[in-house]
Amino acid sequence: MNTLVVQPNQSATDVALQAYGSLECLMDLMLANGRSVTAPLETGTMLAVPEHRQVQPDVLAYFKDHGTVVATKGA
């Protein structure tokens, strides 16, 4: 299982997009970390990122190639 660190202004949906390239994994991600989808995330929090079938490699490659950090909270 991988991990990631919550970046400034990231919501649960942002983290799911950053980790999987898809929102289909959002519930599994939050359940794996004992969190609610609507609960705020603090910058610097380390989250477990379980493997998931619905990963979108093309989206993840785009984020990586462009140095994109998905962070829409407060935008």
Q: Where are the domains of the chain?
A: 2-66
Q: What is the pLDDT of residue 6?
A: 97
pLDDT tens digit string along 1-58?
A: 899 999 999 999 999 999 999 999 999 999 999 999 999 999 999 999 999 888 999 9
DSSP line for 25-59: THHHHHHHTT--TTS---TT-EEEE---TT--HHH
How many DSSP H helices and E strands does the chain contain? Answer: 3, 2
Question: What CATH fold (topology level) applies to the domain 2-66?
Answer: Membrane-bound Lytic Murein Transglycosylase D; Chain A (3.10.350)
pLDDT at 75: 62
